[in-house]
Structure 1
Amino acid sequence: MAAQIKSEHFSVDIDNTTGAVVSISNPRAEGDMNWVSSPDNAPWQPLGSRWGMGYVDLGADSLHRTYWKNPSIVSSNETSAVLEFNLGPLLIKVSRSLKDDGKTFHESYSFHNVGTEDLDLDGPQGTSIAIFTPFNDHYTNTEDALQRRAHAHVWANGGSNAWVKMTQMGGHGPNLGLVVTEGSLRGYSIESRDRITMSNTRGVFLLHPITGKLAPNEQKAIEWSMFWHNDWDDFFEKCAELSFQFIHFHIPCYTLVGDEVAALQMTGAVNEKTTVNGQSVVCDGKGRYSAKSDTFKGSIDVKTPGTEYSAKVYLNRVDSVEKLVASRVRFIIDKQQIYDLGKPGDGAYAVFDNEAQLISSWDTDNDRNLGRERVGMGIFMARWLREHPDDDKVRNSLKRYYKFVCEELQDQTGYVLNGPGSREKRLYNWPWVMQLHIAVASTDLDTTGVNGGESPLERFEKTMESFYDEGGRDLYPIGLPLLECLRYLQNFGTTKLLERAKKLFLNHGQRILDRGVDYPPFEVNFEQSIVAPAAIMLLELYRFTKEPKWLGGAELQMKTLLRFQGKQPDYRLHDIAIRHWDGYWFGKDRMWGDTFPHYWSTLNAVALHHYSYAKADEASKKRADGIILGNLALFSPDGSASCAWIYPLSVNGRAGHYKDPYANDQDWALNHLLYLKQDDEYGQKGHERTYMDRI
């Protein structure tokens, strides 16, 4: 049986047996959107991890996890419900009610030590106490996702300033928001990720309250309010109305370069006593703080004396983008290129294990082989050589790599192998090899003696024809170098090849234009890197042809694409698109769970970059640059790199919040950095409007 709390704004169903919330919906909204995972809309998730259930570490006798279940109902009516869970020395009281004339749904979780000894609920990793909050963030299929699922933009690492903005994937508002009104959160974790559900669900979310040590008869609570909202501005305004401890941060950039100044502007729970890293702020209705970037180390603490409000913000700093990229170039040449003259694999760029300090030759799975996404390293090197033609070390390395690709990753027809010796068809691989051929053609690299003397342009033509012969028109290709190819062919190719490429690309673009938001499933049912290629292709066609239909189609794609991005005050999250499976497929530790940042989030930067030119919109350009700079968190000053930043505090019980040890495919972020930089330079030649940037 289920109890129901209901108003004209909220309908909340509570399972009387478990005490879990199984439905939160808006009676005034069209459709049948349930904003939480339940047995009806997520039957694959464990029944014990439904909304409002949880666990606490009460020691070794309970194997460090005691789950609360089987509640006693203290009271229940149409607008409120109070439940209690007795866990021996710990009494948990869960109160739920409608407030503000039924416009908000309020939850309180009180933890009361009814024993005779202290209870330490902090734990070494901050995950000793957790509340299950299974947001309805799943990719079942495109139609279902766009109608009945939501992106969960979680900010749980901010202490007393914590919130979750859910955004309906198809833009069918209003959206559900959550803001903490009492207590603090340490972070969030993910559970229920496995090889059965694969990459199509973010799993079950767990929020971790900060409770610390409870003395006998002491109690602490975490409380939050949920509400309906429209866009991000509306979300932040309502957070400020509902929570006296909410702070909205206005930060121009989350990754600072060189001696740039960290400029914070804060509204909400700040006053003349508020401090930032122990220093006073200027307060004239808005808190302002600035400091040189070399005076902090990532986290910034915002506290207001006399209250328990303690918020965190996370900024990153790099000394020099140019030096960081140069270090990465040297690292690839010195540590990630295979030197085995005359044998298969010679010249390839390979996965590197930062723990073993070796190329991971023992790991031969498809996502770690010498082909596929690793081609991004070759394109990156070609773009670097284009900017640094006197760099002979890069020239020699790239020539060796290009020979490997032409002779071991392609056959004479242009067919792209899935890896050396593997003819398993994976159409994603073709556009990357096409991009490599054009990038090499744009340099003065001597390719004589490579694969019978065919030029990079001839190799590109074969690859392009093979791609479309194999069914490329139906793919939403990541990294198809449409605009780059057409520009190059216009300047250096034959008229015949230019017209052929235009015909194929325009036909492909029309296919995407006709489908609109009816996205086909690929390796994941529905995801950011299906939507992003659609937006990018249509924007690139518009930039080349100036035909309005391409821009109109692109704007529809951009609306869907930007819903994947959040606004959390953390350089790893801000404007970074949601991705949550790449650590498993590409990392050494095979960790599921959110990867923030992840290099394919720079596809959003590419889309925003092209959109900024199409619409003369400088704000989009700044967002694009911010996404690129955010992804520099994947690289270290010595040139080492990580393919995935596992963001949650834990995933399936394994400790998270760290960089995976593999340097694998992350160099696409640097490839895109150089590509956008070179496209800006193209604009500076008078072809189009250009913008100043920081990269």
Structure 2
Amino acid sequence: MSATLTVAQQAAIERSKMEAQAASLVTGYAGTALKLGNGRVLLDQATGAPVAFVNDDNPQRHYLLDDSVSWHTSDQYWGSGYAITSLGGAQWNKPHQYEVSGGEEHQIFAIIGTGLALDVTRIGGERLVERYEWRNVTNQTVVITGLGIQTPFNDRYPGASKSLHECVNTHIFAGGDWSWVLAKPMNGQGNCLGLVVREGAINAYSIQSRNQVTYSDIRGHIVLQVTDRAINPDSFGGQPSIVLEPGESYVLSWELGWYADEQSFLNDTDAPAAFSSMSATIGQPVTVTTDRTVEAISAGLIVQKTPTGATLTADHAGTYQLALVDGDARAHTEVLFHKSLRDTVNDRARYILKHQVASEREGALAGAIVATDVRNGLHFIDASWNDWSDGSERIAMPVLLQRSLNLGLLDESLRELAQQAADHWRDFAEAELIDGTGAIRRGSGLPKSEFGGRLYDCPWMVSFYTEHYHATHDEHDIDMALKILDRAAEIGGEHFLSIEFAESSAALARVLDGMGRSEDAGRLRSRVVASADYFLKLGSNLPYHEVSYEQSITAPLVSLLLEAHRITGRVEYLDGALERLQWLLSFSGPQPDSRLYGVSIRHWDGYWFGINRQFGDVFPHYWSTLTAEVLARLPQSHRSKETDALAKAIFEANMANYGEDGSATCAYVFPSNVDGRAMHQADPLANDQDWHLNIWMRMIAEEDFPAA
């Protein structure tokens, strides 16, 4: 006889099963292991390479990729790598010899054709100390221009529940001799695994195994690079050459350990500097507290020495590389100086009106606002590639024009043109993107069968109509917005985590209240609550949303629960939101870099949205502002100086995506290289990045966040 189990009890049973399975795998491991705090490092029997980092308090967490992942093989085991020298290039994988004795491991690799041999030492204990020594074994000078080590952290999305319980978000700071990696459990629970460079330097990182499949669920193999000069000499402020005379060596040493939280890890990194912030408005300073000499790498960065370090300023918007120097020790990072929100919005509006309206087309199609190559002004409109269509994410641009106009942010010279463009865009949308039922298709060139094929677009269209109503007071706008949300509900909207669903529903409901249409407003709010109930019951078993799991699934989930709490006052929604907030914050890292600090990991948009069709980490990506939005919408009882500061940092980081002339990039692909192609550059397509400005403006309009 058995009783019916609650959702929480079922989840506890499943968690126990996973922990038991993980524990049996560890205890049944036939190979050698080294101690690592309250856990161990499992070593491959054939090569001695670490194949798992196991924490006894969290045994189900897979911090490294394993052989169950089809695209991960022994070629990418931890500690494998490659060298490029003046004599040639080669990989190392299987050691010439290795032994494990007394809690230490020693490996020797002959890197044939490079003039180098590699000695690796691993010493277990409370921390795992790894030491890599590359020796010049020739009778001539060897110049190293490429040196990378495989560190295959398990950063992937095999489904929401599996991701949350087994995988890690990996935050990399390749800052020269100030370098580290922090692998955070995706559910925010349990120990983090931290790597801190103690000798030598990591000057860049790259991603491998990424472009062989068009999946958005894998980040790829992470390669930490002493130098990437051979492939991308200018990345990360410039890549060094390492010159070894006969018999000389280069040593890289790091420590790995378990950390209870992010702050305890940061306390252990021996940071040589502290920044007042990583971003600032032009005219405001960034102060650096350090004993080192601060040097500008990028032209235009003004460095003024102070008794405690330096003050940084710049006269023009942009990101600026700098170095922190102490003798042979050299660290590097970047800061951002940006225009005010008002100036940036005006720049973008001016650029959109001049370059991104498709006025060359016939009839209503001329009202579309489209992706544009900023190098030459050419429009990118491709019905066969949804992310270059004239709908979907491009809805950001008419929303930007109308919202900035409504808030009084636009200059007088732009107001009439902006309103005309918004009016024409409404005509285009009703002629080409919305059918008679309120269903939406992604672009005008798609067949009629595509209407209703994508729920993501619905809240964005509702945002436009709500903003347009504020300008025109045309009740037709509100009727259209309501029709779109009603149709979305009919085709499954309450069971789908559309970005901005909670926010656009709340904004429309407020307008309906003001019009005396309380029944319609109540219907919208009841759907928000019903959706919140549905996703609370699912727990971690979230459905697929174009990607198996990601930050822009989790952020709308937290926003949904916060809005349900606002509507009902019921504590279970707030408790659910706070639990899932930990999932969301796991995507954000604390790297002292203006493109990285607080910015969520996202690694596929360069392929789908950019001209270069390039996978790889995109930093900053505009949907990272969804995290800032959640932090800004927390109840006052759960907001703090720290949460507000993090939200501000995320909003400011995304200012890096706009040029001084109002041009923009949809994707800055951050790694030094991806599968051997030089990156660390902005894609030249202005496409969908304006959602960042839209979210920031709405936060100001709703008085959830101060203006910049």
- Shared topology, TM-score over 0.5? yes
The alignment status of 1:301 with 2:323, answered yes or no, reads yes
2 CA distance for matches of 1:565 and 1:405?
35
The alignment status of 1:163 with 2:180, answered yes or no, reads yes
What amino acid sits opposite 1:44 in the alignment? W
What amino acid sits opposite 2:147 in the alignment? I
The alignment status of 1:373 with 2:393, answered yes or no, reads yes
Q: Report the equivalent of 1:15.
A: 44
Change (3 A) 1:20 1:639: same
Change (3 A) 1:230 1:197: farther
Q: Report the equivalent of 2:11.
A: none
The alignment status of 1:434 with 2:462, answered yes or no, reads yes
Change (3 A) 1:477 1:438: same
Q: Report the equivalent of 1:84.
A: 108
Which of residues 198, 201, 208 is equivalent to 2:225? 208
The alignment status of 1:277 with 2:298, answered yes or no, reads no
Q: Report the equivalent of 1:458.
A: 479
2 CA distance for matches of 1:234 and 1:251?
18
Mapping of 1:663-682 within 5 angstroms?
Answer: 663-680=686-703
Equivalent pair of 2:35/2:128 in contact (CA under 8 Å): no
2 CA distance for matches of 1:661 and 1:376?
18
Equivalent pair of 1:340/1:347 in contact (CA under 8 Å): no
Which of residues 45, 67, 76 is equivalent to 1:49? 76
2 CA distance for matches of 1:612 and 1:473?
24
Q: Report the equivalent of 1:261.
A: 285
Offset at 1:460? 0.8
Offset at 1:527? 0.6
Q: Report the equivalent of 1:507.
A: 530
What amino acid sits opposite 1:464 in the alignment? L
The alignment status of 1:4 with 2:33, answered yes or no, reads yes
1:607-661 Cα offsets, whole Å, 9 max, x none, are 1110164635343223212211110101011010000010000011110100011
1 CA distance for matches of 2:388 and 2:516?
35
Q: Report the equivalent of 2:61.
A: 33
1 CA distance for matches of 2:569 and 2:471?
28
1:410-459 Cα offsets, whole Å, 9 max, x none, are 011101112214332111111111121112112237x6xxxxxx710010
What amino acid sits opposite 1:255 in the alignment? S
TM-score normalised over the length of structure 2: 0.87
Q: Report the equivalent of 1:413.
A: 437
Q: Report the equivalent of 1:323.
A: 343
Equivalent pair of 1:594/1:646 in contact (CA under 8 Å): yes
Structure 1: runs of 5+ lacking an equivalent = 123-127, 241-245, 448-453, 681-689
Which of residues 129, 150, 165 is equivalent to 1:132? 150
Equivalent pair of 1:483/1:541 in contact (CA under 8 Å): no
Which of residues 372, 375, 379 is equivalent to 1:359? 379
1 CA distance for matches of 2:276 and 2:556?
27
Change (3 A) 1:81 1:141: same
2 CA distance for matches of 1:675 and 1:382?
12
Change (3 A) 1:12 1:346: same
Q: Report the equivalent of 1:174.
A: 191
What SS does the corresponding residue of 1:346 show, helix, strand or coil? helix
2 CA distance for matches of 1:525 and 1:426?
16
1 CA distance for matches of 2:343 and 2:490?
42
Q: Report the equivalent of 1:105.
A: 128
What SS does the corresponding residue of 2:268 show, helix, strand or coil? helix
1:390-413 Cα offsets, whole Å, 9 max, x none, are 610101111111111122100111
Mapping of 1:501-650 within 5 angstroms?
Answer: 501-611=524-634, 613=636, 615-650=638-673
2 CA distance for matches of 1:23 and 1:258?
47
Q: Report the equivalent of 1:685.
A: none
Q: Report the equivalent of 2:354.
A: 334
Offset at 1:504? 1.8
TM-align CA RMSD: 2.3
Q: Report the equivalent of 1:686.
A: none
Change (3 A) 1:394 1:614: farther
2 CA distance for matches of 1:309 and 1:163?
15
2 CA distance for matches of 1:264 and 1:417?
50
Equivalent pair of 1:10/1:104 in contact (CA under 8 Å): no
Change (3 A) 1:292 1:206: same
Equivalent pair of 1:542/1:614 in contact (CA under 8 Å): no
TM-score normalised over the length of structure 1: 0.89
After superposing the two structures, state which structure 1 stretch, 310-319 or 467-476, moved more. 310-319
The alignment status of 1:187 with 2:213, answered yes or no, reads no
What SS does the corresponding residue of 2:659 show, helix, strand or coil? coil
Q: Report the equivalent of 1:451.
A: none
After superposing the two structures, state which structure 1 stretch, 662-671 or 436-445, moved more. 436-445
What SS does the corresponding residue of 1:22 show, helix, strand or coil? strand
What amino acid sits opposite 2:200 in the alignment? G
Offset at 1:385? 1.5
Equivalent pair of 2:455/2:488 in contact (CA under 8 Å): yes
Identity of aligned residues (%): 29
What amino acid sits opposite 1:468 in the alignment? A
After superposing the two structures, state which structure 1 stretch, 3-12 or 369-378, moved more. 3-12
What SS does the corresponding residue of 1:603 show, helix, strand or coil? helix
2 CA distance for matches of 1:301 and 1:258?
21
Equivalent pair of 1:262/1:293 in contact (CA under 8 Å): no
